[in-house]
Structure 1
Amino acid sequence: MKIIVPMAGRGSRLRPHTLTIPKPLIPVAGQPIVHRLVKDIAKVLKQPIDEIAFILGDEAFFGNDVVSSLKQLAESLNAKASIYRQDQPLGTGHAIMCAKESLSGPAVIAYADTLIRADFNLDQEADSVIWVKKVDNPEAFGVVNLNDKNEIIELVEKPKTYISDLAVIGIYYFKDVGVLKAELQKVLDNNIKNGGEYQINDGIKGMMANGNIFKTGQVKAWMDCGNKAVTIETNSKMLNFLQKDRTEQLISPDVSKKNSDIIVPCFIGQNVKLVNTTIGPNVSIGNDCTIENSTVKNSLIQNHSMIKNANLDQAMIGNHVSYDGKFTKVSLGDYSVLE
């Protein structure tokens, strides 16, 4: 089994946090988004992963540190890491075809801006499985249309009339991803574009027209990481899942506390110092942070940051930040927000 991960986007909706780090590597509940996504997919598949192909953007932004992190992720699953580049933002179908050398055999394609919680077996009769989630407002999503055999017969983007309430979440299984490759090659050769880009849906429509059977796989939870607000919400949800699972150590044993309290669920990394501070619930703090005279809840703080005299709720703070709630002088760069 292979996992194909297109992740070349810049994550502009999550600025300023994505000015220096690609969105898929931003930590949620202590691990980068793409790490959690790939590991959760591997758990669902319940079979060995042979190769993980990552489609990255240009080397100036997705540099050696990014490649090294992704190779370590693949190695942790005893899989080969393959690195490809998408130099132009020409759509989801184009991104997948950038990894054409890896497009053979059974594979899962997963876009690295979402997290899931799921537990099911793949339908062995299906040529493909598209992961979906029931939503209250299907008109805001791409949804699947099913026949009386619960097979997917159509993909409809933001339907104006009711089709179904099953939204496509951007994770797909193909019994032979080479079939998708052949259909996407036709899309490229014939310059078939939607919204000015080559889309995976047009390759899938070609497979459906040829009689390939598509089924749905439903997830228990679908968590977006598209912007600051939903990333903080996703961090909170993931912390609650992990607290119940008890499969990960969420609070480092070397946390230094002086007159401070931690209200779980929280993730707190290594070498964190808390002084006269209350942390939680639903807070993630990276390594080497110091927080003094503060209250922090429902927030996400990355590594090497110093927080003083703060009352934070729904906050997202990056790396190497120095923040004093009693500031009188400020120096704020592009895309910074104080609310």
Structure 2
Amino acid sequence: MAGRGSRLRPHSLTVPKPLIPVAGKPIVHRLVADIVRVLNEDIEEIAFILGDPAFFGDDVVKHLEQLASDLGAKASIYRQLDPKGTGHAIMCAEPSLSGPAVIAYADTLIKADFNLDKDADSVIWTKRVENPEAYGVVNLNEKEEITELVEKPTEFVSDQAVIGIYYFKDVGVLKKELQYVLDHNIINGGEYQINDGIKRMMADGKIFKTGTVDEWMDCGNKEVTIETNRRMLGFLAEANEPLISSSISNENSNIIEPCFIGEGVVLKNSQIGPFASIGDGTVIENSTVKNSIIQTNTLIKNATLDNAMIGNYATFDGNFTNISIGDYSSLK
């Protein structure tokens, strides 16, 4: 999670993208919890690869340490100060690369319910897609083993796209191959890639299988993050998870579920939802808010918002609809 999340600006200017909430919970929280659920076993350690301490500072570290602690694990913090690719990022966590491990990119969310094949040397998590030519996909043999990774194939290879989550029975094997990649300066797209380590494992006869997820949701930019928020609220509502805090103040307002409404939210003469996420301490007056993400301690007045994303400690008073406003901004 070392990237700056430039496609999600202005929201990622002040908050690292993996900590931006979707359906009321930071992206990285949901991702880690869903991975733990699929693994269905105790987790000893969660290693986070962060970027520059000037952006990923002490408050971020404390947040991640608490996340690991809540899952009964210890947190290890590493830094990738120079963005040299996924393979290089993984090797920044070299002291933690031993034993069984999952590696995941912290900018997507999943919905998965499959049995992880822990007899395989590795499992690459995939999602069946309608347009495989737009993705990196896996090629399978008659035993349903992965024999090849193909980036944006011009001819049909398979419809299973690689989503950026990997299980390794012994991640030390990947570490050895990535070290070779670094030592021999094997670069693709100007960077050191995890795929080059994986291809070396395959060439050595290691067995790779697929674990296919039901849903794969992106949080790369404002539009897809709002869509992911919408889908996640739907999934949580189906699972009967409580989404509306009992501490809200509701004065002549209507809530159309599913919505997430955090603690201490004040609603006055407004209609909220469907598919709105409202962060703690936010006040909404004389407004309609649907299909939007409003973060914490923000004031919304006289607004009709749809497909909007507003940050923390912001003020919005106006009649715009489809907006994206970062933290501490004011439109009056």
Q: In structure 2, what is the Cα distance between the partners aligned to 1:44 and 1:333?
A: 34
Name the SS of the counterpart of 1:182 in structure 2.
helix
In the TM superposition, what are the counterparts of 1:130-145 in structure 2 within 5 Å? 130-145=124-139
Please report how far the alpha carbon of residue 218 of structure 1 lies from its aligned counterpart in structure 2 after TM superposition. Answer: 0.5
Name the SS of the counterpart of 2:14 in structure 1.
coil
Q: In structure 1, what is the Cα distance between the partners aligned to 2:96 and 2:240?
A: 35
- Aligned-residue CA RMSD (Å): 1.5
Structure 1: 5+ residue runs without aligned partners? 1-6
Q: In structure 2, what is the Cα distance between the partners aligned to 1:157 and 1:101?
A: 30
Please report how far the alpha carbon of residue 333 of structure 1 lies from its aligned counterpart in structure 2 after TM superposition. Answer: 8.9
Q: 2:292 matched to 1:299?
A: yes
Q: In structure 1, what is the Cα distance between the partners aligned to 2:65 and 2:238?
A: 29
2:283 counterpart (282, 286, 290) = 290
Name the SS of the counterpart of 1:180 in structure 2.
helix
Question: Deviation digits for residues 44-97 of structure 1, max 9, x if unmatched?
Answer: 100000000000001000001100110000000110100000000000000000
1:217 counterpart (188, 200, 211) = 211
- Percent identical pairs in the alignment equals 72
In the TM superposition, what are the counterparts of 1:38-57 in structure 2 within 5 Å? 38-57=32-51
Q: 2:252 matched to 1:259?
A: yes
Please report how far the alpha carbon of residue 125 of structure 1 lies from its aligned counterpart in structure 2 after TM superposition. Answer: 2.6
Q: In structure 2, what is the Cα distance between the partners aligned to 1:312 and 1:183?
A: 50
Please report how far the alpha carbon of residue 8 of structure 1 lies from its aligned counterpart in structure 2 after TM superposition. Answer: 0.1
Name the SS of the counterpart of 2:36 in structure 1.
helix
Structure 2: 5+ residue runs without aligned partners? none
Q: 2:103 matched to 1:106?
A: no
Q: In structure 2, what is the Cα distance between the partners aligned to 1:180 and 1:123?
A: 18
Q: 2:176 matched to 1:166?
A: no
Q: In structure 2, what is the Cα distance between the partners aligned to 1:156 and 1:66?
A: 36
Please report how far the alpha carbon of residue 177 of structure 1 lies from its aligned counterpart in structure 2 after TM superposition. Answer: 0.2
Q: In structure 2, what is the Cα distance between the partners aligned to 1:185 and 1:56?
A: 20
Aligned to 1:313: 306
Q: In structure 2, what is the Cα distance between the partners aligned to 1:124 and 1:276?
A: 54
Q: In structure 1, what is the Cα distance between the partners aligned to 2:255 and 2:326?
A: 32
Please report how far the alpha carbon of residue 160 of structure 1 lies from its aligned counterpart in structure 2 after TM superposition. Answer: 1.2
Q: 2:63 matched to 1:69?
A: yes
Aligned to 1:234: 228
* 8 Å Cα contact 2:145/2:207 also seen in 1: yes
Q: In structure 2, what is the Cα distance between the partners aligned to 1:288 and 1:333?
A: 17
In the TM superposition, what are the counterparts of 1:181-200 in structure 2 within 5 Å? 181-200=175-194
Q: 2:34 matched to 1:36?
A: no
* 8 Å Cα contact 2:310/2:326 also seen in 1: no
Q: In structure 2, what is the Cα distance between the partners aligned to 1:305 and 1:161?
A: 49
Aligned to 2:89: 95
Q: In structure 1, what is the Cα distance between the partners aligned to 2:82 and 2:68?
A: 25
Aligned to 1:3: none
Which amino acid in 1 is paired with 2:276? V
Please report how far the alpha carbon of residue 123 of structure 1 lies from its aligned counterpart in structure 2 after TM superposition. Answer: 1.0
Q: In structure 1, what is the Cα distance between the partners aligned to 2:161 and 2:243?
A: 31
Q: In structure 1, what is the Cα distance between the partners aligned to 2:129 and 2:319?
A: 43
Please report how far the alpha carbon of residue 26 of structure 1 lies from its aligned counterpart in structure 2 after TM superposition. Answer: 0.2
Which amino acid in 2 is paired with 1:85? R
Q: In structure 2, what is the Cα distance between the partners aligned to 1:217 and 1:312?
A: 38
Which amino acid in 1 is paired with 2:7? R
Q: In structure 2, what is the Cα distance between the partners aligned to 1:306 and 1:137?
A: 41
Question: Deviation digits for residues 247-296 of structure 1, max 9, x if unmatched?
Answer: 4x211101111110111110001110000100000010101100011101
* 8 Å Cα contact 2:11/2:326 also seen in 1: no
Q: In structure 1, what is the Cα distance between the partners aligned to 2:74 and 2:199?
A: 30
Normalising by structure 2, report the TM-score.
0.96
Which amino acid in 2 is paired with 1:42? V
Poorly superposed stretches of 4+, deviation over 6 Å:
none
Q: Are residues 296 and 133 of structure 1, via their aligned partners in 2, closer, same or farther at CA, if it must alter by over 3 Å?
A: same
Q: In structure 1, what is the Cα distance between the partners aligned to 2:119 and 2:81?
A: 37
Q: Are residues 82 and 333 of structure 1, via their aligned partners in 2, closer, same or farther at CA, if it must alter by over 3 Å?
A: closer
Please report how far the alpha carbon of residue 124 of structure 1 lies from its aligned counterpart in structure 2 after TM superposition. Answer: 2.9
* 8 Å Cα contact 2:314/2:326 also seen in 1: no
Normalising by structure 1, report the TM-score.
0.94
Which amino acid in 1 is paired with 2:314? V
Which amino acid in 2 is paired with 1:286? G
